[in-house]
Amino acid sequence: MTRPVHGGDLGDAVSRFGGNIADWLDLSTGINRVPYPVTEISTHLWRSLPTAADHTALIDAARIAYRTDWPCLPVAGAQAAIQMLPYLHNAGRIGLRGPSYNEFATVFEGAGKSLEEVSTTTDLEGFDIAILVNPNNPDGRLETPESLRKLAKVVGLLIVDESFCDTEPETSLLSTGGADNIIVLRSFGKFFGLAGLRLGFVFGADSYIARLSQLRGPWAVSGPALSVGAHALADLDWQARTRDRLRNDAERMDQMAIRAGWTAVGGSTLFRLYQTDGARAARDRLARHRVWSRIFPYSGTWLRLGLPGDDEEWQRVETAVA
């Protein structure tokens, strides 16, 4: 099986363009580069197995942050949830609205289940499993909760990946009533800038959460991740400030791209997508300044960039883009 291409593979950047990993500014992912400030982690959390109370504290904080009362299961990143999805449902037809995150196709096909990519949300109607990312990666297409609930009525199981939804919480399905045939995935690491912590969540009906809990197994989320996650999710002021900053930074990035002759075609406030004269040439130009971006095999012109963090990072990107 061909290995899926992702952002974040700085080893690839080094092998192609030289330098050391420490020399590079990685904007190939949609990970917030101003992470939540993690305080010192207690030695106890490293030495002991997580408790049921630790698990419950994280779920309570997640429900408050995500404005929901849906049943919830913490997992080791949204990717861990995706790995389990093929074993939830004896599906016939499986549809993915694309182009989108390529791991869904990889995981389902790896489990011996064919997945059909469709171009619009309406095209998903009638599938046994319908999958979409909302906001979509990489173009930022966004469906309203109302439109997704209508879709859920005409599919067997609706899976919605909301990994980039923290910046637009009003668009989340989680703030609406639950449904027996909807599963929602959330990533913690992207918005909070702590991808290495490996933390995410699955929300859905009790029957699906129970099955996923069996597949996940015990102690699937580390004690430090439970603790850091609960603390960060409870910090609603930091989350509000971060949303405001990311909105401003996305506008700043778009203006920079326009001056370079690129056209903004989508994205979220964690990443931006641009139309260029040639994606590979644009990526290589940035790479000569040790700025790593993301291009796509299905488009010769699309280039995706995450947002820089501090002033030095912004200066590097401005120099590279100009």
Q: Which structural domains are found in the chain, ordered by start?
A: 10-35+240-321 (3.90.1150.10), 43-234 (3.40.640.10)
**In the chain, which ranges are continuous DSSP H helix?**
10-17, 43-47, 52-65, 78-84, 103-110, 145-152, 189-192, 206-216, 223-234, 236-259, 279-287, 311-321
The reported pLDDT for the residue numbered 322 is 86
Cβ within 8 Å of residue 274, ≥6 positions away: 257, 262, 263, 264, 265, 282, 302, 303, 304, 305
Q: What is the model's pLDDT at position 70? A: 96
Residue with tokens 């994606």: 279
C-alpha separations of 180 from 153, 159, 205, 271, 299 in Å: 10, 12, 5, 32, 37
The token pair that represents 149 in the structure block: 């609930």
pLDDT level of residue 6 (50, 70, 90 thresholds): low
The count of C-alpha atoms lying within 13 angstroms of the C-alpha of 165, restricted to the half-sphere facing its C-beta, is: 29
Please name the residue that has the structure tokens 């919480």: 169
Q: What is the pLDDT of residues 108-163, one digit of tens each?
A: 999 999 999 999 999 999 999 999 999 999 999 999 999 999 999 999 999 999 99
Q: What is the pLDDT of residues 43-94, one digit of tens each?
A: 999 999 999 999 999 999 999 999 999 999 999 999 999 999 999 988 789 9
Amino acid at 50: P
Ranges of H-type helices in 111-182: 145-152
Distance of CA 279 to the CA centre of its chain: 22
pTM score: 0.95
Q: What is the average pLDDT score of the chain?
A: 95
